[in-house]
A and B are shown apart, each in its own frame.
Chain A
Amino acid sequence: MKLNCKHLCHSLDLSLEELDYLFNLAKEMKKNPAKYSNSLAGHILGTLFFEPSTRTRLSFESAMLRLGGQVLGFSDSDQSSAKKGEGLWDTVRVMDGYCDIMVIRHPKEGSSLLASEYSQVPVINGGDGGHQHPTQTLTDLFTIVTEKGSLENKNFAFVGDLKHGRTVHSTLLALARYKGNKFTLISPSELKIPAYLREQLTKMGAEFEESTDLKSAISDADVLYSTRIQKERFFNEEDYLKLKDNYIINNCVLSHGKKDMLVLHPLPRVNEISIEVDSDPRAGFFRQAKLGVYIRMALIHTLIKGGHTNA
């Protein structure tokens, strides 16, 4: 399948049909990895990480290596010419001669869209400031489909830093396109979703309510999506310290949730989910991180070669 978009900068860049296609391909890649293990031999993934990342970068690298491709790049802006004052557009123009596809993480919002305007090869947004993280969204959706069977008619509770949490912004918008979903958005009043996102959700007809009460909000949730308070997005330490421990999910909190509730987190966690929760079968965040590799494999493969047909 050829995707309508050349680049993936936003979680709404892919149609529902394209998402279904990627979920099926990722499922097939997980089931039959040998079939795809050499399918991108001779291709190079460029990783331009201007901000620290463990999961996203290594998940992309793992995905490319599992497809038989190779990887080059940097994992910190200090290792790139950005430190010398080079503009993003120049870095991108140079890198697109060195690789066949690139993933970019950058602290500024809209950076991957800007990069896509200068790149001849596909650009994947690996997180742009507090704005979007579309491949985390692919991971989240693929995990929900895998574990719950469908993306429709579910109650979702999002908790934590909903203002700066780009994964929340991306995933909320993506889930709002599926019918019958309801959202409870739990955060301190200082960390509510941004106004533009609230407006977009309203325009899409999404059913959502905002709350500060975690325990009562999770009683109906099919999926509880927790996020870290994004320390790096605060302009002063004092505000961060005041808000950082507002919501901690532990076994006591989970006792208010359904028996089959799925607990997700984009990771890294700091202390918003207690370690005691890890042994609860509802804790799906490490399974989620693993599934992220397969959906990224499906995405890279489809952007470069068009998916199933060119294995």
Chain B
Amino acid sequence: MLKVASIKNGVVIDHITPGNGLKIFSKLNLKDIDEPVILLRNADSSKAGKKDVVKIENFYDLPLEYLGILDSNITINYIKDEKIIDKKSVSLPLKIKGIVKCKNPRCISFEQKDVSPEFTLNNREDGYICSYCEETTSLKRIKL
């Protein structure tokens, strides 16, 4: 079994759905970070069978809402002196603004790049309701 070094200080993004690790690596621009970063794909998981994991040394500031939309299964471990000092589950945020655009071509925000609707979570199946037109943008159609 592959052994991967633990980190001393930083964050571990754990329980990432297999395949999403690379996406998170890319969306968080981790290639531009000067600190050590580990991307582990298809690691064994007692919960889900397989998982992806991202470890970032000397880094704590993660956009949790954004991660919640990218993959609501993940948990984040905050590490200090090789000990977990905090653990957070990421879930779909109830409200989001500035991350998603409305998919309804009739919405006032659709063609106006400066107009940013607030979205309210309807439910996991349906997605988010736009504050302007009230149409739902499904999670499947949200491309981050």
A interface residue numbers (CB < 8 A to B) = 87-88, 106-111, 113-114, 128-131, 194-196, 199-200, 233
Q: A88-B108, A129-B106, A130-B106 are in contact. Are A110 and B136 (CB under 8 A)?
A: no
- Contact residues in A for B122 (Cβ distance below 8 Å): 199
Contact among B109, B114, B126 for A110, CB-based, below 8 A = B109
| A113, A130, A200, A233: residue with the most chain B Cβ atoms closer than 10 Å | A113
Residue in contact with B131 in the complex, picked from A106, A107, A110, A199, CB distance below 8 Å:
A110
A109-B108, A113-B132, A114-B132 known; 15 new pairs, CB 8 Å cut-off, are: A108-B106, A108-B107, A108-B110, A109-B104, A110-B108, A110-B130, A110-B132, A110-B134, A111-B108, A111-B132, A113-B108, A114-B109, A114-B115, A129-B133, A196-B134
- List B residues 86-111 near A (Cβ within 8 Å): 104, 106-110
Across the interface, B134 reaches (CB within 8 A) one of A88, A114, A131, namely A131
Nearest CB in chain A: distance from B49 CB, A: 35
Main secondary structure of the interface of B (DSSP, over half): loop
Which residues of the other chain, A, contact B126 by a CB distance below 8 angstroms? 199
Pairs of residues from A and B, 3 with the lowest C-beta to C-beta distance, nearest first: A110-B132, A109-B133, A108-B108
Indicate whether A87 sits within 8 Å of B114 (C-beta atoms), given known contacts A110-B107, A111-B108. Answer: yes
Is B46 part of the contact surface with A, judged by Cβ < 8 Å? Answer: no
Residues of A near B135 (CB, < 8 A) are: 109, 194, 196
Task: Please count how many residues in chain B sit with their CB below 8 Å of the partner chain's CB atoms.
Answer: 20
B117 proximal to A (CB < 8 A): yes
Closest to A115 in B: B108
Structural contact, A109 and B129, CB atoms closer than 8 A: no
B132 CB to nearest A CB, Å: 2
Contact (A196, B129) CB under 8 Å given A110-B117, A114-B115, A131-B134: yes
Please, could you name 14 A-B residue pairs with CB atoms under 8 Å apart, sorted by A?
Answer: A108-B106, A108-B107, A109-B133, A109-B135, A110-B108, A110-B117, A111-B132, A113-B131, A114-B108, A129-B106, A129-B133, A130-B106, A196-B129, A196-B135
> Which residues in B have some Cβ–Cβ distance to A below 8 Å?
104, 106-110, 112, 114-115, 117, 122, 126, 129-136
Tell me the nearest residue of chain B to A117, going by C-beta: B115
In the assembled complex, the Cα of A130 lies from the Cα of B133 at a distance in Å of 9
How far is A233 from B122 in the complex, measured between Cα atoms in Å? 26
Residue from B112, B132, B135, B136 with most neighbouring chain A CB atoms (10 Å): B132
- Residues of A within 8 Å of B104, CB to CB, are 109
For the residues of A in contact with B, the DSSP-based class is mixed
Chain A residue at minimal CB-CB distance from B136? A196
Q: B residues within 8 A CB of A233?
A: 106
Q: State the CA gap A76–B100 with chains docked (Å).
A: 32
The answer for the CA separation of A225 and B27 in the assembled complex, in Å, is 50
Q: Which residue of A lies closest to B134 (CB)?
A: A196
CB distance from B104 to the nearest CB of A (A): 7
Which of B107, B112, B114, B136 is within 8 Å of A109, CB to CB? B107
Closest to A111 in B: B108
A109 CA to B107 CA, complexed, in Å: 5
Closest-by-CB residue of B relative to A130 is: B106
**CB nearest to B123 among chain A residues:** A199
* Cα separation A233 to B105 with both chains bound (whole Å): 11
Q: Given the interface contacts A87-B112, A108-B106, A130-B106, does A195 sit within 8 Å of B133 by beta carbon?
A: no
Of chain B, the residue at the smallest CB distance from A113 is B132
